[in-house]
């Protein structure tokens, strides 16, 4: 065996099998904790905790920060989603190790420069972060977990997220194809 | 029996510990499925890789069916499981903004953490964007508030909304998913891409 073959990343899991396993994780969250998964909520917790630390008066005066903090007994970081997201990082890392996919890189279409990719990644992140607040959750929390419990809002989120991305795909095609 | 924490079968602290383990499983499955790669994720919008469609919808119907069965067996009381609220306009506008973020950034929040975990620098930049976006919303909350709170419909299930039973609703979603899987497989043959 040559070095080449040793270093090659393993193949991804069959997507339907990965989907079944993902569904079982959502099921486990509902069975154990009575709630679904999430991601943007953990970032929100960090923002609320950060603003409270840096500018406590400002945070107390804003219903956005204050109501979230009160809902979590004044400890916005001691929150289900924060622990879950720490787990996501560990789980993703372990998967990367076993499948030999750990590498520092800016992943992008060869047709564009790294800088372009990073600029759009930043812009995309800003929009996704802002939208997740209006949507009361992102693809995990609102769309996937919402659909699992048949929430009407979950189906609306899913349709709006994927529908918009499809409609805009043509305009951003240079980034990807 | 379930949900375990609400029925006080496990303590709140155990619940938080289990959240960490649930997260490990979540992150592991996302990465194994290929969700740590923005180019794989974006593939669904151009047809060259429809892994997002397959994993997302298989996940959704597995969880739906699982919850239905658990409820039939009295393993979980669906009346106390959290059902996401429906605020019509903020849900639609938020979804549209997230969709734009998805096609520009190539990640969603969960998958960006997964990409960051294996060293994707673009994922770190996306995460920095998430922090900025949520902070901007927090700072401009009062401006967004009328939209954020408009058309509150409570927490309806889609089955109630259409007057269908939960079983029939899930069956229809499964049929729609199977049709989409079929289209996804077709698309991958129509718009193949060797390496990405």
Rounded CA separation A34/B76 (Å): 9
- Over residues B3-15, the pLDDT tens digits come to 999 999 999 999 9
pLDDT, chain B, mean: 96
pLDDT above 70 for A3: no
Give me the residue from A87, A108, A132 closest to B19, CB to CB. A87
* Chain B environment of A102 (Cβ under 8 Å): 118-119
For chain B, where are the alpha helices, taking DSSP H only? 12-33, 38-42, 51-72, 88-105, 109-117, 121-139, 141-149, 158-162, 166-190
Rounded CA separation B49/A151 (Å): 28
Separation in Å, CA of B32 to nearest CA in chain A:
5
- Over residues A8-49, the pLDDT tens digits come to 899 999 999 999 999 999 999 999 999 999 999 999 999 999
Rounded CA separation B95/A67 (Å): 23
Give me the residue from B58, B86, B128 closest to A19, CB to CB. B58
- Over residues A55-69, the pLDDT tens digits come to 999 999 999 999 999
Separation in Å, CA of A83 to nearest CA in chain B:
5
pLDDT above 70 for A4: no
A73 pLDDT tier (thresholds 50, 70, 90): confident
- Over residues B145-154, the pLDDT tens digits come to 999 999 999 9
Return the C-alpha torsion angle B75, B171, B107, A129, nearest 10.
-70
User: Domain locations in chain A?
Assistant: 16-102, 103-177
Determine, for residues B114 and A88 on separate chains, whether the beta-carbon distance falls below 8 Å: yes
Separation in Å, CA of A44 to nearest CA in chain B:
6
Determine, for residues A88 and B5 on separate chains, whether the beta-carbon distance falls below 8 Å: no
pLDDT above 60 for B101: yes
* Chain A environment of B10 (Cβ under 8 Å): 32
Nearest CA in chain A to B152: A153
pLDDT of residue B145: 96
pLDDT of residue A60: 94
Rounded CA separation B176/B70 (Å): 23
pLDDT, chain A, mean: 95
Provide the percentage of residues in chain B whose pLDDT is more than 90: 94
Global confidence as pTM: 0.96
B19 pLDDT tier (thresholds 50, 70, 90): very high
Determine, for residues B54 and A39 on separate chains, whether the beta-carbon distance falls below 8 Å: no
């Amino acid at each position: 065996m040559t070095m080449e073959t040793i270093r090659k990343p393993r193949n991804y899991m069959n997507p339907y099998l990965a989907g079944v396993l993902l569904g079982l994780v959502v099921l486990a969250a509902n069975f154990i904790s009575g709630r679904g998964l999430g991601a943007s909520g953990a970032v929100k917790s960090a923002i609320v905790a950060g603003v409270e630390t840096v500018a406590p008066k400002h945070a107390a005066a804003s219903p956005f920060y204050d109501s979230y903090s009160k809902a979590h007994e004044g400890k916005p970081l001691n929150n289900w989603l924060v622990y879950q997201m720490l787990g996501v990082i560990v789980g993703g890392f372990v998967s990367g190790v076993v499948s030999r996919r750990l590498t520092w890189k800016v992943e992008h279409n060869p047709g564009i420069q790294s800088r372009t990719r990073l600029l759009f990644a930043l812009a995309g992140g800003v929009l996704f972060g802002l939208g997740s607040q209006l949507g009361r959750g992102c693809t995990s929390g609102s769309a996937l977990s919402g659909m699992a419990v048949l929430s009407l809002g979950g189906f609306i989120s899913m349709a709006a997220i994927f529908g918009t991305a499809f409609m805009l795909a043509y305009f951003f095609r240079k980034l990807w194809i | 029996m379930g949900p375990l924490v609400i029925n006080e079968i496990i303590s709140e602290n155990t619940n938080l510990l289990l959240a960490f383990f649930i997260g490990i499983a979540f992150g592991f499955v996302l990465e194994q499925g290929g969700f740590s790669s923005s180019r794989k994720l974006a593939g669904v919008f151009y047809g060259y890789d429809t892994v997002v469609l397959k994993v997302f919808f298989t996940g959704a119907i597995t969880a739906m069916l699982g919850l239905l069965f658990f409820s039939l067996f009295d393993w979980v009381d669906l009346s106390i499981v959290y059902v996401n609220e429906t605020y019509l306009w903020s849900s639609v506008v938020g979804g549209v903004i997230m969709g734009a973020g998805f096609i520009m950034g190539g990640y969603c929040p969960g998958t960006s953490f997964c990409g960051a975990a294996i060293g994707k620098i673009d994922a770190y930049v996306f995460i920095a964007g998430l922090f900025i976006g949520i902070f901007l919303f927090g700072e401009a909350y009062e401006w967004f508030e009328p939209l954020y709170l408009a058309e509150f419909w409570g927490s309806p299930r889609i089955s109630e909304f259409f007057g269908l039973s939960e079983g029939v609703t899930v069956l229809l979603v499964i049929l729609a998913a199977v049709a989409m899987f079929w289209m996804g497989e077709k698309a991958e043959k129509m718009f193949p891409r060797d390496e990405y």
